[in-house]
Amino acid sequence: MPGDLPVHVAIIMDGNGRWAKERGWPRIRGHEKGVESIREVIKACGDIGIRYLTLYAFSTENWARPKEEIDFLMNMLSAYLDKEREGFLKNEIRFNAIGRLSDLPGEVRKKLENLTRETQKNRKLFLTLALSYSSRVELSDAARRISEKVLKGEIGLDSITPRTIDEHLYTAGMPDPDLLIRTSGEMRLSNFLLWQLSYAEIYVTEKRWPDFGKEDLLEAVREYSKRERRFGRTEAKSKSK
């Protein structure tokens, strides 16, 4: 494994439905298989020393899907949180969720809150699920919170900087992703972490998410380690953290 590891990996997990359709199966089979890929990638990140992993699990746009599929996904999420709890505690995984969590079913929200609280002292891997997430909504929410503080006199207009924005995003306190992985060959960000991904390296694979596993993650990290990150500068900035 190369020495230059990304500190924070973000993944757009795309292709569950197409994976199932290609096999003549219902879409839910793709989602079920996709959960297996999530488990494998989480373990691989912990094994090689990646500190932060953020997974795009459900977007605000996904609410437009058929009710039957949404109900299945919410039930699957609820079951996933129950099943993974012991493993997260045992393997020092700190759990987090970002997005408009108020949109989620009450039972799911409660489980998210409980798992976040129970794992808050874990330090090996910081795992974040983006749920009912939209980067544009996140930025709008940040602008609203900053505006409220300006009106109250807590922040001056002249003191607003990019750091001010960072501190009011859902991801406040987390480092920006170093590497974005997108599966299924799509060449777009799909309203995911638009502010935070400003200088991330992007890796796209044709593989559908259910076929993505440890070796695919390692290949993405190897590719990352070969790149020079310039951040707009003439000379590359060291990736050592």
Q: Among positive and negative, which fits the CA dihedral 205, 209, 211, 212?
A: positive
Please say if 103 is a catalytic residue: no
Residue pair 129/80 in contact by the 8 Å Cβ criterion: no
Contacting residues for 227 by C-beta, under 8 A, at least 6 apart: 201
CB-CB neighbours of 19 under 10 Å:
25
Provide Rg for the chain, Cα atoms.
18
Measured distance CA(48)–CA(54) in Å, rounded: 16
Distances in Å between the Cα of 56 and the Cα atoms of 69, 78, 239 are: 17, 16, 24
Please say if 14 is a catalytic residue: yes
H or E element in which residue 212 lies: none
Residue pair 138/100 in contact by the 8 Å Cβ criterion: no
Beta strands in 60-208 (DSSP E): 93-98, 125-133, 179-182, 201-204
Catalytic residue among 47, 62, 103, 211: 62
Catalytic residues: 14, 62
